Amino acid sequence: MKIGVDAHSLEGKRTGVGRVLINLLKQWDNFDLSDTKFILYFKKEIPELNLSNRFEKKLINSDSNALFIHYYLPLAAKKDKIDLLFCPSYISPIFYKGKTALILHDIIYQSHPEMYNWPSFWDRILLKEFSKISAKKTEIIFTPSKFSQKEVIKHYKINPDKVFNIPWGVDNDFKIIEDNQKLIEIKEKYKIKDKFIFYIGSIFNRRHLPEVIKAFKKISDKLSNYQFLIVGNNYANIPEQEFNHHKIIYQEYLSGKDLVKLYNAADLTIYLSDYEGFGLPPLESIACGTPVIISRKASIPEVIGEAGIYVKNNSDINEISEAIYMGLTDQNLRNDLINKGLEQVKKFSWQKSAKEILDLLLKS
């Protein structure tokens, strides 16, 4: 079988969709698949992937996402006579006549457009409509949580039999680091003087970072040896002065190699969101033995279970500050959360997820 893959999410600074795809590809590379070949289609560049010759890489050269997905990608897939086109980024080519499989990580742009940070007017129109068309015409849809599975079925009104809930896993690199010197070095690299709490992820309005910053500032005097490291593109357009505090360190992006060390070095990760299709950061954090502050909304309870400190109201600065203080100072609670987190993370495996997805692709 010949499977084409829209791989443009692997280019440039890799975020959630790209991290999911590379984990799937790495797992597939380890499977015994003598009769299966993959063609990876790229938009502007072919990044270093360390994959075997089973994965052929093709560069299409397009400056436009829309032209790449809806024009050049289907032309290339047709020319290469692929059996199935795997599209991990919400949308498949709408005029493509061949078989497709689609990942819908979430559909916030459809179910709660008021929460979505729209890059432009055309994104508002095209993403909603093209995602819905893609979902209706595709053979298989994968979602990473039961929450997203229900959302897709409800809002797109499609046959539930073609929507499969397959949770994401945790990369094996996300684990407790015993070498304390590595943690000292990573804190020095990011100008962290002693201890810190951590936020990692694209900054959207639904993730309530302004409230978290205010909550941290409120109790910063009581936590004199703590800083707050924030990493993520500021799509919410939070004013620069909000980050202007002597205990707050902000940057847009970090090296993937640093992430595991930072989770380990942090004392607490905070990820308050009104809507997530899965939420990798809190899962990765507990895999590294660092407790998380989260909210009991959308898919997060499925992922974290009872291994986190839950905030009822993501906009309540007092409640958030109390949760931060408790999460940093109550050692019995911290020990309990760490132990629960290490057990919870055992439920998630990229190997298992990749096998289930590939089995369905090969049967389609």
**Spatial distance between the Cα atoms of 40 and 213, rounded to a whole number of angstroms:** 41
Helices within the chain (DSSP H only): 16-30, 65-67, 73-79, 108-111, 121-137, 146-156, 180-189, 209-219, 256-265, 280-287, 300-304, 317-329, 331-344, 350-363
Q: pLDDT category, 199, cuts 50, 70, 90?
A: very high
pLDDT at 128: 83
pLDDT at 124: 67
pLDDT at 139 over 60: yes
The model's pLDDT over 332-348, given as tens digits with 9 standing for 90+, comes to: 999 999 999 999 999 99
Residues 192-196, mean pLDDT to the nearest whole number:
97
Q: pLDDT category, 103, cuts 50, 70, 90?
A: very high
Residues 220-248, mean pLDDT to the nearest whole number:
92
Higher pLDDT, 41 or 65: 41
Strands 292-295 vs 309-311: parallel, antiparallel or unpaired: parallel
pLDDT at 127: 81
User: Where in the sequence of the chain do the CATH 3.40.50.2000 domains occur?
Assistant: 2-169+349-363, 180-347
Q: Treating both helix axes as pointing N-terminal to C-terminal, what angle do 146-156 and 121-137 enclose, rounded to 10 degrees? A: 90
pLDDT at 154 over 90: yes
pLDDT at 15: 79
pLDDT at 107 over 70: yes
Per cent of the chain over pLDDT 70 is 98
pLDDT at 65: 87
Mean pLDDT of the chain: 94
pLDDT at 119: 64
pLDDT at 160: 97
Count CB atoms within 10 A of the CB of residue 210.
16
Domain 2-169+349-363 architecture? 3-Layer(aba) Sandwich (3.40)
pLDDT at 241: 87
pLDDT at 257: 86
Q: How far is CA 257 from CA 125, 158, 174, 186, 261, in A?
A: 36, 40, 11, 10, 8
Q: How far is CA 16 from CA 39, 89, 97, in A?
A: 21, 10, 28
Residues 267-293, mean pLDDT to the nearest whole number:
97
Q: How far is CA 244 from CA 51, 224, 250, 269, 316, in A?
A: 42, 17, 9, 20, 22
Look up the pTM and report it.
0.93
Per cent of the chain over pLDDT 90 is 85
- Nearest Cα to 345, choosing from 287, 290, 271? 287
Give residue 279's region: left, alpha or beta (phi > 0; psi -120 to 50).
left
pLDDT at 138: 97
Residues 267-279, mean pLDDT to the nearest whole number:
97
Range of weakest confidence among 106-120, 124-138, 159-173: 106-120
pLDDT at 209 over 80: yes
Query: What tokens does 112 get?
Result: 């709660």
The model's pLDDT over 290-334, given as tens digits with 9 standing for 90+, comes to: 999 999 999 999 999 999 999 999 999 999 999 999 999 999 999
Residues 6+ apart with CB under 8 A from 257: none
pLDDT at 16: 83
CA atoms within 13 A on the CB side of 209: 27
Query: What tokens does 207 get?
Result: 């993730």
pLDDT at 120: 64
Beta partners for 40? 5, 57
Query: What tokens does 132 get?
Result: 């819905």
- Nearest Cα to 279, choosing from 100, 87, 108, 102? 108
Q: How far is CA 271 from CA 100, 126, 296, in A?
A: 33, 29, 11
pLDDT at 280 over 90: yes
Domain 180-347 architecture? 3-Layer(aba) Sandwich (3.40)
